[in-house]
Chains A and B, each alone.
Chain A
């Protein structure tokens, strides 16, 4: 199978993640969609590593995983904090700051 198909799959996953961030209401689900986008990028990094015949892309995928893990720690702690004070994780309810 041509590696280009994996690039298309990765673009598709990235697009699904983007749409998810824009339409979903729950902060946790929004965040999961961001993670989907990051993993879509991982797929294209690995595919490009295969196409280019170098290992750099695979190493980069590891970096991305570590960064994504750190982001989960910070993100979930922030979402937990706001859930404790508001009893909701909906991004629509956080509406004190506007105009």
Chain B
């Protein structure tokens, strides 16, 4: 009782905030682990600890969501823990589990993407060179899969149960901090909290992009581009916040809405503020004309980081976009919605048309994410309960499919690393039927074929758009989906109906962590396509709380 009244006096509802506090507190402890534990033991401890943090936070979200706790606004109105927040939190934490597993995997290449030991790095590169000189020399097992796991670093003489080479473990606290920022971002109830959360999620991501030890130049270039453009976009976001503060005298989303509904004020400030705010938000969600960083960063960043970024940043950014549109600008929707129609159309068309011309699979996934951002924006623009639940469901479905695809991309390797080029996927089905089948399934899900989550998600978003009088937008969306299906199917046709090149890439046998991550992505994609009812119901559990 004593603690209860104490927390009441402070106005802090620790029960509602628990997931956020667990993740951010876990991130701080993770930094401490980084400081005190010896390098040799860090990787395993950090992975187990981060997974535990994420799973515990996920459990608290599920307990709260199923327990029927009332929606609350906490921390003096800074954060709103309502039904959409809980769904977004659940989605983010669920997506963080496979992301962590992909990040931690050290079996596909010796020491993983973030290998710490330069000797191991050099040795691995030598080995790869030797392997490419005599491709038949490396043991090909009965499935036609080249085994290249473990046992190649120093101190691991025999390949048996030896430890793989060490890795840089800073990625784990970075990921937890970014995740904490994302949780705060999609639940923030005022624009200042939103800005701080935006930076908390962005800064670790900039660093994560530049941490690859192999393909270093590409990785660093991606980090610089992402950082400069990201900082540029957040300056626009901030100017939007300042103008809206000038307009409403407050940065609470509900205060902006009531100021807009009140006596006549300067519409210039309101709409200029909204426009600048939208630029910053759309940049993070890689929508339409604000997407220019997406292909470069997706291609240059280490693939596990791309997977985390593609799935989780999109969820957080669209969560914030939904909240801003619904709570702060729902009453003035008729006046600004036309402009965002143009943005949605631009996003779908750019993503589809440029996606057609790509020859690198990661860049293709990036342009496909731009097109998908356009589809998701249709759901955001329908400011109705159906639009809200459809968008939330779409984010969940898209996140798991993308993580599975990028996990699979990390398995297909040529001499010097991942075989990004599409020609490397020719005849993949004869080399590794399982990988080809899983990749085909996920690409079909992105294309929106029935019995996959992509179909259910597109159906939910498009029907919500249609019901809210956005028929032209939905027609553009349908045409773009049809065109986009071409470049997904092109990969599938290449994998199944082309002859494999004799010196083509090999398929690594994934370690248990990557296998679990990919399996999770594929299974969720299938389940959300076949039995979407439970997820759709949770997505539609309730409205935003202002």
Q: Interface residues, chain A, CB within 8 Å of chain B?
A: 7, 14, 17, 21, 27, 30-31, 34, 37-38, 40-41, 44-45, 47-48, 51-52, 54, 56-57, 60, 63-64, 67, 70-71, 74-75, 77-79, 81-82, 85-86, 91, 94-99
Contact = CB atoms under 8 A, between A and B. Distances in A.
Given A17-B235, A44-B246, A96 B192 contact: no
B224 interface: yes
Contacts, number: 119
A38 B238 contact: yes
Among A31, A37, A38, A41, the one with the most B-chain Cβ atoms within 10 Å of its Cβ is A41
A81 B235 contact: no
Contacts of A34: 228, 231-232, 235
B245 A57 contact: yes
B251 interface: yes
A41 B237 CA distance: 10
Nearest to A86: B217
A6 to B, nearest CB: 11
B49 interface: no
B538 interface: no
A94 B229 CA distance: 14
- Describe B's contact surface by its main secondary structure: helix
Given A37-B235, A78-B224, A97 B249 contact: no
B220 interface: yes
B210 A81 contact: yes
Given A56-B249, A97-B218, A99-B358, 20 more contacts: A27-B228, A31-B228, A37-B239, A40-B239, A44-B243, A47-B246, A48-B246, A52-B245, A56-B251, A60-B251, A70-B199, A71-B203, A74-B206, A77-B207, A78-B223, A82-B210, A82-B221, A86-B217, A91-B224, A94-B224
A78 B300 CA distance: 14
B490 interface: no
Contacts of A45: 242, 245
Contacts of B242: 41, 44-45, 48, 57, 60
B251 A70 contact: no
Contacts of B217: 85-86, 96
B227 A91 contact: no
Given A63-B195, A78-B223, A82-B221, A21 B203 contact: no
